[in-house]
Every structure is written in C-alpha cells, then in structure tokens.
Amino acid sequence: MSRPHAGRTALVTGAAAGLGQAYALRLAAQGARIVVADIAPVDDTVKLIEADGGAAVGVVSDVADPASVAALAERIEDLGGVDICVNNAGIYPFVPFDDMTFEQWRTLLAINLDSMFLVTKAVLPGLRARSWGRVICMSSTMFHAGVPGAAHYVASKGGVIGLVRALAPELAPNGVTVNAIAPSLVRTPGTSTGFHDGAGMFDMIAGMQAIKRTQVPDDLAGVVAFLCSEEAGFITGQTLVVDGGLVRA
C-alpha cells in the first residue's frame, strides 16, 4: 500500500471500534501516526495499528465535554500537533419524537455536533501554524432521507453539513480543507446488535440502494484517506454521499 500520509499525524475520534477504528487503521497503513481518541478503551485499536507496523497513541477522551477536550488538546500539543482531524464520534439511538426528552435531545446533539465544534477548535491553532490541514466530519444519508424516529440524530447530521459549509471558506486561507462524508447504514459491531439488525434494516436499505449489499467500514475508509490526502486539496465545503446509490438527488 502506498504511503501518502507519511509524516502526518491524524486524530480520529470514536476510534475504539467500528468506523473510527477502520479510519485509523487505513490512515496508519498509509503512513500517518494516529491519535486514537474515544470515551471507550482504545487499546485494541492502538495494538492493531502497532501490530501492522504503524504508530499510534491512545487517549481516552469524552469529546462532548469541554474539559476533556482541553486535556486532549494538551496531549496533542505534547505530541507536536496534528495535520488531520477526523470527527467520527457519534451515537445513533432511535426515539419517537413524542417520547423524546429534552435531555435525550441535548445529549445526542452534544456528542454528535458539539464535539465537532470542540475538537476542531482544539486542533485549529496547530493546523493554522502548519498552513496545511484536513478536517473530516461524519454526517449521514439520514439527513437527506429524513428518517422518522430519529429527529435528534437527523438534526445533528444536518448541523454537521452546515458546520462544514461555514468552516470551509473561513479556513481555506490557512490551507485547511473541511469536508463531510454521509454514509448509509454501515454494518459494524455496534449496529449489528439491537435495533438495526432486529428490525431488518440492513436488508431493507440494501434493497433500496443501487448497489444491493450492506455497506461495510472499508467502503468508507478509502474515501476518508483520499479526502485527507494532497490529491484532495481542491475539495472543501462538500458533503460526499457514500451510500451505494441510496440517495440519488
């Protein structure tokens, strides 16, 4: 595998498992040193990267908490800063709007959207100092589809797209690009248990896609790696829908 990210350091949030782990492994395989951040234990991802000959540092961090993100920023500064920030951390519960409490609304918005504000603010001074940087934020095709039973989730993913569009022109003079990726339902350890699998959502969504199979993390890892590369230097402010042709608008 080529190493287009050699010499770069990438922060990946929500990287203990699932999509974040896949992004961390792909960027590491392409030469980046990875800061693996998650509220859950990060040792497994760090060990996988190191076993493959890569370099990684694990940091347990609650990216929805300003004090925790400030501590993460200090750790990053000690490591010499980052070039790439992949804002991946998020949750995806389903709650009918009539039953949704304000606490549930605020908790999800904090994890899925506030975290991107906090983490991007934390790494921005280093990106500006380098006059080069990549910020990737995870959105979802659920924003485009307006899926019922997830008003807080859909709102958060719409907010991600708005944040990316607003930040792109602000940060472009500093050599920093900002983009979002919107996947469909991806089979991960988290989505393979509970509601998604039990409700038959994987088969239903695959049947609606142009490419009729369930999306897996590797379908997205290469896209993240590309958007973090030099070759993607003229792409900013965009939301790239990567969903097997589910959304065709």
Domain membership of residue 204 (yes or no) is no
Known active-site residue 153: yes
Task: Report if residue 161 sits inside a domain.
Answer: yes
Query: Model-level pTM?
Result: 0.95
The dihedral over CA atoms of 169, 174, 175, 176, expressed in degrees to the nearest 10, equals -60
Task: Check pLDDT > 70 for residue 248.
Answer: yes
Q: Looking at 23, 92, 143, 153, which residue is catalytic? A: 153
Residue 249 has pLDDT above 60, yes or no: no
Examine residue 203 and state whether it is found in any structural domain, yes or no.
Answer: no
* Cα 85 from Cα 9, distance rounded (Å): 9
Instruction: Order the strands of the 133-138 sheet from edge to edge.
Output: 56-60, 33-38, 9-13, 84-87, 133-138, 176-183, 239-242
181 in a structural domain = yes
Provide the number of structural domains found in the chain. 1
**Of residues 129 and 248, more confidently modeled:** 129
Residue 199 covered by a domain:
no
% of residues, the chain, pLDDT over 70: 97
Range of the domain at 154: 9-186+216-241
Report d(CA 240, CA 175) in Å as an integer. 20
Cβ–Cβ under 8 Å, residues 242 and 220 = yes
Residue 198 has pLDDT above 60, yes or no: no
Position 192 in a domain: no
Q: Taking the CB of residue 221, how many other CB atoms lie within 10 A of it?
A: 20
Q: Give CA–CA dist 236/169, Å, rounded.
A: 8
Reported as a single tens digit per residue, the pLDDT across 55-114 is 999 999 999 999 999 999 999 999 999 999 999 999 989 999 999 999 999 999 999 999
Residue 196 maps to a domain: no
If we measure between CA atoms, which residue out of 32, 44, 37, 43 comes closest to residue 15? 37
Which residue has better confidence, 189 or 158?
158
- pLDDT for 211-236, tens place per residue? 999 999 999 999 999 999 999 999 99
CATH assignment at residue 70: 3.40.50.720
180 is a domain residue: yes
- Of the candidates 32, 78, 75, the one whose C-alpha atom is nearest the C-alpha of residue 54 is 32
pLDDT, position 105: 98
